[in-house]
Amino acid sequence: MKPIGVVSFGEIDGMVLKAIAAHILGYLRIDTEIFSPLEYPGYAYDPRRLQYDAGAILKAFESLPVQSYAKVIGVLDADLFVPILTYVFGEARQGGKCAVVSLYRLKNNPDGSKASSPLFLERAAKVALHELGHLLNLTHCEDERCLMHFSGGIRDLDTAPPYFCRYCSVYLHDGLASL
Ligand SMILES: [Zn+2]
Ligand SMILES: [Zn+2]
């Protein structure tokens, strides 16, 4: 089976990519490979919203030559939006090839304090696993104790466990088997 690629757009803390890759390997038992950074997606900047268009980044990402990977997770520091939401932690097309994860909103706690490094890395890994779930064909789950539950804010994300419910796990393994 081809590995899951993990890559940054521009420069980010290398620890984050390692944490994401380790969580994917540890949780899903599939090989991961970190590859050299992609160009920062300046083209996706929306000067009206002062944010980056997640859909535009995904579209460009999906057109890159990443055939050597089963799925690819791209990580960046920029604040992402989709038209209907104020911001998103990540974005992926259900059953797609590539997902993006934004670190921008993961660095601070709801009270404005800075998140500890382990908490920040755990959040990044959770968002990455959630988006990988979408790439493996999963939709959002109603169970709050499931990683596929929709996280509208950092509190939701911190409440979500770093694993999938039994129901989603079944679908996840179907998705993995079809890779
Ligand atoms: Zn989602
Ligand atoms: Zn679930």
Cα–Cα separations (whole angstroms), residue 99 to 125, 130, 147: 13, 10, 16
Assign 179 a pLDDT band (cuts: 50, 70, 90): confident
- Please tell me whether residue 52 adopts helix, strand or coil conformation: strand
Q: Is the pTM of this model over 0.75?
A: yes
CB atoms near residue 89 (< 10 Å) = 26
**Domains of the chain and CATH, by start:** 4-177 (3.40.390.10)
Q: What is the pLDDT of residues 41-91, one digit of tens each?
A: 999 999 999 999 999 999 999 999 999 999 999 999 999 999 999 999 999
Residues contacting residue 90 through CB under 8 Å, at least 6 positions apart: 54, 80, 99, 100, 101, 102, 127, 128, 130, 131
Is 131 in the active site? yes
Identify the pLDDT of residue 105. Answer: 96
Ligand 2 center to 164 CA (angstroms): 5
Identify the pLDDT of residue 1. Answer: 87
* Dihedral (CA of 98, 24, 126, 6) sign: negative
Ligand 1 center to 131 CA (angstroms): 6
Q: What is the pLDDT of residues 125-136, one digit of tens each?
A: 999 999 999 999
Which residue in 11, 62, 122, 131 is the catalytic one? 131
Cα–Cα separations (whole angstroms), residue 82 to 58, 74, 101, 121, 126: 11, 16, 13, 24, 20
Q: How far is 47 from 163, CA to CA, in rounded Å?
A: 37
